[in-house]
Amino acid sequence: KELTKVLKEGKYKIVHSHINTLSVFPLYCAKKAKVPVRIAHSHSTTNKKEWKKNLMKQMLKPFSKLFATDYFACTEYAGRWLFGDKEFDKGNIYVLNNAIEVDKFKYDEKIRKLKRKELEIKDNQIVIGHIGRFVAQKNHTFLIDIFNEVHKQNKNTILLLIGQGPLQEEIKAKVNDFGLKESVIFLGQRNDVNELYQAMDVFLLPSLYEGLGMVLIEAQCNGLPCVCSTEVPIVAKLNENLNFLDLNSSLKFWADEILRSSKSFGRFDCSIYVKQSGFDIEKETKSLEKKYKALL
């Protein structure tokens, strides 16, 4: 009722909802408020391991188009998942890249040294980084298993975990059980993420599913070697320095690839790959503005 009231009083021409299957609710309010353009935007997919969440998504999925006038998605994969192959093949889904401020994420050796000093990380230590909410989707349990194997092979390794969420305490307990407390740094929610990438040597994302995986775009812009699961869409790969591994592969296989990646690539500014692949926010902002005007 409150949302419908806000939309009526504001006399909005466009309501753009970014909450996947849950978009049915705000777009219902928008239709009641007689908003002419109602956009449902798909940013994610699903994974069979999250069966409870998946059940809710599958129940709501048929209603995703009910109150929407237009369909957006961050990738073809996310668009086909929520709105269906027919809609995508008919050209009814507008793919808008999740873009970043490219200059903000460029590699900077000076910032790297300052950040590592701030975090009390030695020059010879290998830093594996992860950014994501502590929820099942991000697969932190498996991530800790991987790092445990990495640490067995090389004690001179550190894991940076950035983010917060409901599973954080559970993951902290697992870290303690493995005796990794001194080697895993929980940084919580941060507003200096662009600088924290500089301190890392490898970026790890073993997600159960992703609509895109924005952190990979940022990490690649920063020149970081990236290791992620095959559940991440192929469109996230901007250069040859990102490798996809199957979640069913052994922990040793993951650990070997992470340690190999940490040594095989010299850091440099990779922002050109981001721009070439269409993830530059300056370009995408103009594209969205043009699209809004066309819809109106």
Check residue 100 and report its DSSP letter: B
What's the rounded Cα separation, in Å, for the pair 107 and 84? 39
Cβ atoms within 10 Å, residue 169: 10
Using alpha carbons, select from 195, 4, 40 the residue that is nearest to residue 112.
195
Q: Please, is 79 exposed, middle or buried when counting C-beta atoms within 10 Å of its C-beta (0-12, 13-18, 19+)? A: buried
Banded pLDDT at 51 (limits 50, 70, 90): low
Banded pLDDT at 46 (limits 50, 70, 90): low
What is the 3-state secondary structure of 214-249? HHHHHHHHCCCCEEEECCCCHHHCCCCCEEEECCCC
Q: Are the C-beta atoms of 99 and 284 separated by less than 8 Å?
A: yes
Banded pLDDT at 13 (limits 50, 70, 90): very high
Tell me the two tokens of residue 24. 């049915």
Using alpha carbons, select from 221, 214, 217 the residue that is nearest to residue 198.
221
**Its pTM surpasses 0.85:** no
Banded pLDDT at 49 (limits 50, 70, 90): low
Tell me the two tokens of residue 18. 């970014």
Predicted pLDDT at 11: 96
| Interval 102-153: pLDDT, tens | 999 999 999 999 999 999 999 999 999 999 999 999 999 999 999 999 999 9
Q: CA of 75: how far to CAs of 5, 41, 71, 83, 289, in Å? A: 33, 10, 12, 12, 19
| Interval 18-31: pLDDT, tens | 988 899 999 999 99
Which amino acid, residue 280? D
Q: Are the C-beta atoms of 162 and 196 separated by less than 8 Å?
A: yes
Please give the average per-residue pLDDT across 195-211, as a whole number.
Answer: 95
Please give the average per-residue pLDDT across 209-227, as a whole number.
Answer: 93
Residue 239 region by backbone torsions, left for phi larger than 0, else alpha for psi between -120 and 50, else beta = beta
What's the rounded Cα separation, in Å, for the pair 255 and 154? 10
What's the rounded Cα separation, in Å, for the pair 8 and 205? 42
| Interval 160-171: pLDDT, tens | 999 999 999 999
DSSP letter string, 137-176: GG-HHHHHHHHHHHHHH-SSEEEEEE---TTHHHHHHHHH
